Structure formats: C-alpha cells, structure tokens
Structure 1
Amino acid sequence: MSEAYHGEFSGVDKIPGREPKDKDVNMYTNMRNLISLSKNAPPDPPPLCSVCQHKAPAFGKPPRAFSYAELGQATDEFSQANFLAEGGYGSVHRGVLPDGQVIAVKQHKLASSQGDREFSSEVQVLSCAQHRNVVMLIGYCVEDQWRLLVYEFICNGSLDSHLYGHSHDPLDWSSRRKIAIGASRGLRYLHEECRVGCIVHRDLRPNNILLTHEFEALVGDFGLARWQPDGDLGMETRIIGTFGYLAPEYVQSGQVTEKADVYSFGVVLMELVTGRKAIDITRPKGQQCLTEWSRPLLKESAVSKLVDPRLGDCYSEQEVQDMLRCASLCLQQDPHARPRMSQVLRMLEGDIFME
C-alpha cells in the first residue's frame, strides 16, 4: 500500500492595499489554526484497491466492540443479498458501516467450547497484527450466544476461486507471482516482525489468501493461529489443519513451529505454478497428492511438466524456476532445513539464490 499523500498548505497573504482589521486578523488566525490541525491530523489511508475505491481502515486502532444490532443494520439483517460464504465456522456477510467502511462479518455458529477458543484466538492474534498483507480485524461482537468478527472487506475473493473456480479467467503469470510475493510478506510479518513475537497461522492455503482486483494478497482466517515464543515447539495432541498442507513433523509428532507455515506455503507455491490442487481425487492414481507427484519433477527441474498448461508460453522461465526452487526448499522434510519467510520473500523477489 503506497504511502498516504500529505497535502501542502500555503500561508494566508495580506490583501494588497489595506491593513487587516481585527476581524480579518481573527479570520487569518482561525485559518492558520485549521491549517495547522490539517497538517497534524493523521491522513486517511489510501483505498485498499484502486478499482473498488473502498475506504481502507486506519492502522494503529485496536478492534472495537460492536453490538449485534449495529452489525445487523450494516448487513441488512444478514440478508441473502449480502451473503459471501459459508464454512465450518459459520457464515460471512458483506456490510457497510455508517462511515462508509465496507466490511465482512464472520458469524460463528452457536457458541461451543471449540468455537469460543477459535474465536478468542482470532481476536487476540489479529489485535496485535496489522500489516498491509494481513486482513485487518476492525472489531468483534460478543452478545448472548452471538460471536461475530468484523474484518475489512477484501473485494476479489480468495485465491482458490481464481485458481480453480470457473467464474474467473485463468490467472496470468505476473498475477501469480505478485500473489506469492504478497502472501510471503504477510507471513514474514507474522513470523518475524509482529510486535508480540512469532504468530503461526497453522492453516495457510489458497482459501485463506484473499485478493484485491490488483491481486494484492492478504493472509486471512486466523481461527487456528497461535503465538509461538522463541524456542517453544508448541506440542499438540490433536492434529488440526487441512490435509495436503500439513507439515510432516506436525502430523507425526504434533510439533508446531513457524516452519510448519513455511511448508504449507511451499504447497501454495506449487499450486500457483502448476494450477493443481494440493489434493485432487479426480486425478489418476499417483497424481492425486501434489507434493508426491511433483517431488521427482522438482529434482529434475522439469519446468515444462510442472507449469500450468493454461499459461501456454506466457511466463518467465527464470521466475518459474525461482518459484519452484523456493517451493522445493519450503517442502523439505527436515523443518530446520527450510528457509525463514524473510529468505523466501527475497528468493521470490530474485534478491538471493539458495541451494
């Protein structure tokens, strides 16, 4: 997101040919005060997407508490016309706040111990995480049995709908690369730059990467996320996440570190290059699991066999090779051998080369 523009104001000149009267002096003083206030006031952030021009939320504000009535009014009482998606957690509706802010309201199903844990996790994590490539939490609602989260509205859906849906044209290579770089920036921030320490997403996949019409990627859905203090392996007895994206050490031992996200991101990179789903039971035996099918081809650097045929010849072979090399490193069995997300980003941008 580009830096906000700060306008410049000139002083008020005296009118030639006469001395100012008292009321003129007062007028000039008031105008100078207004100008001073304008300079000191925080600028409005630029819109998230230049196509939609939706108002972007301001950074630095903590999530606010909404009433259920406020969110009902914003979404036209959660009407079908504003319905966006349905998942295991509940439903998502589009809405508009009185100040013009367009929002997505995620309504959790009736309260349960598991649902409350995921709800609390998402509020706690996103209260501390604000970055241009992370979906911003604007607020929440806890009222009677209702549990709702209020996000900035991301206008162009999720990555999976563009890779595998039938309502969009196939993504071109430059858009795929831009999405990979944007998502890696979001993960780098969560792992290495967030003020509260490392946050592990634990469910990174195309469904949870949201896009603007300019294909700026934002990492979203933090229901399974957890803080990861330095040196904490974060052992889990119950394996949660999405099959096809789970790191082997997590499946085998329940060990959770940020390197599990790096593995999942490697799978996403393979999906961006190949146009194949992580798990696709409609494909022939031996091709249903993307990582298993692609592993020998990655060793051979068989770009022509790996690249999405829908791209034709319209891609940079060097950029594809860079992304495949990056994916191969992310997918290593040993978590300690996987790169950090800051290294992943630099590889995708072509700044460094790693064997």
Structure 2
Amino acid sequence: MVSSIALLFLVLFLTSSARSFADDFIFSGFKRASNLSLDGSARVTNDGTIQLTNETRRVMGHAFFSSPVRLLDNQHGSSSALSFSTIFVFDIITIGTGSGHGLAFVMSPSKTLPQADSGPYLGLFGAGNNGNSSNHVFAVEFDTAYIPGMFNETNGNHVGIDINSIISNISTPAGYYSNDSNKKVDLDLKMGKPIQAWIDYSANTRVLNVAIAPLSVPKPGRPLVSYTIDLSPIFKEYMYVGFSASTGKLVSSHYILGWSFRTDGIAAPLDISQLSIPQPPSASSSSNSSSKALAIKIGDITFIATLIVVGTAISIFFYLKQRAKLAETLEDWELDHPHRFRYKDLYKATKGFKETELLGRGGFGQVFKGVIKDTGEEVAVKKISNNTRQGIREFIAEIASLGRMRHRHLVELKGWCKRNEDLLLVYEFMPEGSLDTLLFDGKTSATLSWQQRFKILKGVAAGILYLHEEWEQVVVHRDIKASNVLLDSAMNARIGDFGLARLHEHGTNPHTTHVVGTLGYMSPELSRTGKPTTSSDVFAFGALLLEVACGRRPIEPDAPPMQLNLVDWVTECWARGELLGAADPRLGKFYDGEEMELVLKLGLVCCQSAPEVRPSMRRVIRYLNGDENLADDVSLVFSERESVNLASGDSCNSSCGIISTSSLNKGR
C-alpha cells in the first residue's frame, strides 16, 4: 500500500515537473485584449479582429503576444525545444484581381523583426538578413503571391515552413485532406472566407504538422504538411509568438479572428461562434454626389473658400509653432545607436507629459504612461533631467546595448531618446504597477497573498540570474528594490529601471566608482570601495526577501530603535528562536511556514556584511526551488571565527560581524 502511494506521488511529481514550463493562452476575439503588441499597419478593429494589413501598397503589420514564452528546456545540461501547439483563424480579403502577399505565424526572439521588409518578405526578413542563422526566426507562411524562380514557392497559393529565411524549407499548395475520403481538397487562401489553421510540434518525435481547413470542416486527421526538424538550434530560451503580413504592388487585408496557443500540450480549441467575421469593404461611390455639388450657390462657394483659407492659415501657424516646440537637433553619434524614439512621438504618446499620465516620480526622474500612436502599444516613459554630468554618450551606448536583452522577468527596455538635457527611457508598460505600491500603499484593496509573494521573489531571482550570468555580458543592476519590481497583468515579476545598470565582460571587474543605490538595499562594502558587483545585487535581493516576508521596509525611520534596521530586527528574532514572529502580520496564519522560514533565513544569508560569503544568484534560486537545503550549507556560508554571538547580548547591524553557526541553529 505504501509503495503504491509513493508511486502515485512520484507520477504526480513528474507530471507537474513536465508541466512547469507550460505557457498557454486563448483569444476568442481581440476586442478587450490588453496583452498584444502591434506595429506597422496592424490594428484591432471595432469588431475585435486583428487587421494586419489594409488596402495600402507596400506595408507590413505585426501582432505579437506581449510576453515571451519559454521554448527551450535547459534543465539537463543541453538545450532542447519544447513541444508547442497553436490554433488560429485567419481571413484574407482581396478587392479586385490579384492579391499580396500573405501572412505568417512567426516565432522570434524580438517583437521588432530587424531589417524586415514588405512584399514577398511577408514582414519577416529583408534582403540584408534573409538566410542568416543569427535570425533565430521560425515561421509558417500562408503565401498568396508567386514569384517564378524565387523563394522555393510551388504556386501563388501555398503553405511553407520558413527557417531564418523566406526561402521555404518545404512548400506545398494550400488544401486539406478530407476525413471521409482522405483525398486532398484544394483551398483558396484568398477566398475571402475564414480558414482555421493548426500547427503542432512534438519535441519527442521532432515532427512539425500543419493543417488548414474552412471553418465548417473539423481538424483533418492527415496534416497538409508533416516535416521532420529539430527546432532546438533555432529557438532561444524565450521567444515571442505572433503573426506577420505584408502587401506589395498588389494588396489584401489580412485578418486574425481568434488564436489559441500552448507549450507542452495541445492548444485549447476555439469557440467559432464567438468570432467576428470581417466584411469586405463596400464600393463607396454615389452617382448623384457630383450633381449635388453643382447645386451649391456661388455665394456659398465663396464663403466656404474664405473659411478654408483662414482655417488653413491658422492651422499652418499652430503647426509651425508646435513643430518648433518639438524640434530636436541630433548629434552625429546619436545616429549610431539603435532603439531611438523621436521626441515628438513620445510627446504625443504621453499627451505632452501631462500630469494625468504621471505614474510616479523618484530621485532620477518622472515616469509617464504613454500610448504609441502608430501601434497602439502602451509604454512607460521615464524622463531623466539634467543628466549632462553622467557621461551621456557612454550612458546611451549602454542603454542601446541593454535594449537587446529579453527575459520574461525583465521589463523590456524598448528604447531611448535624448533632447537637450533630458534623457527619456521607454519601457514596456506594467499594468499592475510596482511591488512597493502593492505592499505599502494603503489604497490597495487587498493584501498580496503569500503564494503571490513567493512567486514574485522567485521571478525576481530568475531575472537577476539572467543579468549576472546568462546574458552575453555581466549586468550589475545596482538598484534592486521593491519599487523597481513591476508586475504584469498575470502578477509575474519583472525587474525594471536599468537607468543605473552597468555592463562589463564576464570574468572582469566593473570599473565604475560612482556610488548609487537606495538606503537599506546598499551593501556595506559600497561605502568603502564604491564598486558595485553582482554580490552587492545579492545583498539588495536579500533586503527585498526580508521586506516581502515581513511587510516592512529595510529602513523604518519612525520605528523603535531595535526595529529601525530590518536586517537587525529579523536577526534578533532568529537569535531568540522566534523567527516566524517576523512574518507580515497582515498574512495572519495564511502562509507556508517552511517557505516563510526559508525566505527569512535566506534574506539574512544574502545580507551578510562580507561579500565573499554571500551566495551567488544561481545558488539562491536552488534554495528557493528546494534543490539545495540552506541548513546543509550553513557551515560553508558562515565563519565561526568571525561570528558575533547575538544570544549573549552583543549588538550587530548589517555592516558588522557575521552571524554565528550556533545562532543559526538556535533560531531554527
């Protein structure tokens, strides 16, 4: 009996472990979708469909799910692609003869596809990067144009698999296999009626299957395309998923009506009855409009003409005045750095940096909510003023480099703008605000649960590990704190504000000596050396661990003397054997005691005064995940020789001695 129960728990554990990387979402229409990123000609229509292109020549449109999804499993020492499944309904509407050029389901490391071009490139690639292995782009194209002798196309109505290139690895005429007769039925992609598509990739068999059919036909048992490929070398650990479409000399409107996606499983089916069907634009011409125009009296024409002239003059005056207000002069070196926004675009996005759009302010500037007009994307714009003394050219060079980082627990730094003495940083907008606000703002309606807090802490740890070890350079954030931890719509933690971050190569030491940071989070060695390191980030994370668990700020000026410094107070609680007494009283008893104890102890371990005894972020994550026992490594982390016996009454703060092993054991 016992062995049967143990086996059951083992199966459940393995099943949950296999599902730990799963991402899934479903859109039965997009009218209220807030987690989409659109650019180019893409927009969400009033009916709730995504219109990627319209009847405009040589345009392209992209629509991505805002957050990246995990597509590589790195747990076993080697990277292997995860299984994924997606279902979507698309509609290609063409007015007149000819169409162009088609749409594609795409997976990319970035939501902004570099060098992408319209026309036959479908908004995926361009002549400068087509075929480059560094693209790391996977796409399934639904192409409605044919260029003889190019791109491995079978005809002007085909489905193809594209790997880093618009030249398809495999291409086949569009159609589906009947479930009744198993015979292929031709399907016109541009017939102006919705078509459902299924794309499934198995990590075990490394087989990619693609099927399409009209809405009235269930999923075909036999796929249109079945292609064996290992996507592991193509995928990055985190990728963005979405759609791309383009027009050329000929035009079509490309629509996405609904979309379901899942990793490590089968995507949920779409409810077809909830989808809005786009209608072809009606030919709008009135045969009697000219006759009505001729009926206008000469006097009325003169009056209208006068109004037009006066109105035009006034408009030109205000236009020139506004243009002068928004004018900016670029230095030559600014053109060498990517991710630059135009000042007037950010000015319009934030309604002229209006007070009503202000999200917050701090020592380094103000943050405004903005909506980029061309894409409808929500952003946060941080405005830093009087920054000329900080070496702004080098600063922007680093910001441009940081803009290439992508991780699900980092706020995406989308770009920058410099105007006179103002530096503006453009970030992804986080709808749930900062962790600091949710913890301490009395206006919030509910207290963060322990499950939410523990999930947030693990997310922050994963983001810091990426900065320290997993990106191409070592990034020392220098200002890890609750107000720089932002939360997306699913309450996932994202580390923001890289305005203080500094880069250096792996294996080298950072060279900056300018002390910055926030009191309570700054490690004691910074006041002596002025050199931030990954270890000083670990100290700040330790303070954050205690802050989240205790519901107290690292420094409380109005608190009693023994509670002024959070590290000191938790240390005293531990030494008295009352560690859980430091838990946030707002949680009551609704928390996991073992997790709470782990977080409090780990916070003190990270906040040791000697940087060499603090754990790395990789070890911190192993502690949080339960892969290593913190108690097992106490003797390695703490030195009895340098200890201070708190039980004897000696005072200690975050800048003095190291906690003794005996004190640790007593507090367990």
TM-score w.r.t. the length of structure 1 is 0.82
Structure 1 CA distance for aligned equivalents of residues 349 and 187 of structure 2: 43
Greater share of helix = 1
Alignment correspondent of 1:151: 427
Structure label with greater radius of gyration: 2
Partner of 2:521: 245
Other-structure match for 1:271: 547
Q: Show the counterpart of 1:89.
A: 364
- Go from structure 1 to structure 2 and tell me whether the alpha carbon gap of 1:242 and 1:111 turns closer, same or farther (over 3 Å shift): closer
Q: 1:64 to 1:235 in 2, by over 3 A?
A: closer
1:7 aligns with 2:283: no
Q: Is 2:450 aligned against 1:173?
A: yes
* CA-to-aligned-CA distance 1:86-128 (integer Å, 9 cap, x gap): 2222221111122121111111214422273795276145224
Aligned to 1:292: 568
d(CA) in 1 for partners of 2:509, 2:415: 31
Which of the numbers 575, 592, 610 marks the counterpart of 1:316? 592
Deviation at 1:295, TM superposition (A): 1.8
Deviation at 1:215, TM superposition (A): 2.1
Q: Mean Cα displacement is larger for which, 76-85 or 171-180? A: 76-85
> Which structure 2 residues correspond to residues 70-219 of structure 1 after superposition, within 5 A?
70-97=345-372, 98-114=374-390, 116=392, 119-120=395-396, 123-168=399-444, 169-195=446-472, 197-219=473-495
Alpha-carbon offset, residue 264 of structure 1? 0.6
- Give the match for residue 44 of structure 1: 242
1:13-43 Cα offsets, whole Å, 9 max, x none, are: 4999xxx9xxx98947999xxx89x999x73
Partners of 2:572 and 2:612 in 1: how far apart? 22
Counterpart AA for 1:241: G
Contact preservation (8 Å) 1:125, 1:227? no
Any unmatched runs of 5+ in structure 2? 1-21, 24-68, 70-83, 89-141, 143-158, 160-173, 198-209, 213-224, 226-233, 235-239, 244-258, 260-336, 634-668
Structure 1 vs Structure 2: percent identity of aligned residues? 34
1:178 and 1:347 map into 2 onto residues whose CA distance is: 14
Q: Once the two structures are superposed, what CA deviation does each residue of 1:129-152 show, in whole Å capped at 9, x if it has no partner? A: 211111101122123444211111
Asked if structure 2 preserves the Cα contact closer than 8 Å seen for 1:109 and 1:115, the reply is no
**Secondary structure of 1:227 counterpart:** strand
Deviation of 1:301 after TM superposition, in Å, equals 5.1
**AA at the equivalent of 2:467:** L
Q: Distance in 1 between matches of 2:520 and 2:484?
A: 14
Q: Aligned in 2, Cα 1:111/1:239: closer, same or farther, shift over 3 Å? A: closer
Q: Deviations over 1:55-90 (max 9, x none)?
A: xxxxxxx96221111112222222222111122222
Q: Distance in 1 between matches of 2:399 and 2:555?
A: 30
Are the structure 2 counterparts of residues 334 and 231 from structure 1 closer, same or farther at C-alpha, using a change threshold of 3 Å?
farther
Residue 224 (structure 1) aligns with: 500
Distance 1:14 1:231 in 2: 57
* Structure 1 letter corresponding to 2:175: V
Partners of 1:155 and 1:299 in 2: CA distance = 41
**Match of 1:247, SS?**
coil
CA distance in 2, matches of 1:144, 1:155: 30
The aligned amino acid for 2:346 is L
Q: Is the 8 A contact 1:63 1:138 kept in 2?
A: no
The change in CA–CA distance for 1:162 and 1:13 in structure 2 (over 3 A counts) is: closer
Task: Summarize the Cα distance change of 1:68–1:230 in structure 2 as closer, same or farther, 3 Å threshold.
Answer: closer
The 1:332/1:149 distance shift into structure 2, 3 A limit, reads: same
Unaligned runs of 5+ in 1: 47-61
User: Do the aligned partners of 1:122 and 1:223 also contact (CA within 8 Å) in 2?
Assistant: no
Tell me the secondary structure at the aligned position of residue 602 of structure 2. Answer: helix
Q: 1:63 to 1:157 in 2, by over 3 A?
A: farther
C-alpha separation between the residues in 1 aligned to 2:187 and 2:425? Answer: 48
User: Corresponding residue for 1:303?
Assistant: 579
TM-score, scaled to structure 2: 0.45
Query: Helix, strand or coil for the counterpart of 2:242?
Result: coil
Distance in 2 separating the partners of 1:43 and 1:234? 36
d(CA) in 1 for partners of 2:175 and 2:410? 43
Gap change, CA 1:281 and 1:125, over 3 Å in 2: farther
Q: What's the secondary structure of 2:417's corresponding residue?
A: strand
Following superposition, the deviation at residue 12 of structure 1 comes to: 1.4
1:246-261 maps to which residues of 2 (within 5 A)?
246-261=522-537
Equivalent-residue separation in structure 1 for 2:611 and 2:527 (angstroms): 13
Secondary structure of the equivalent of 1:180?
A: helix
Root mean square deviation, CA, Å: 3.6
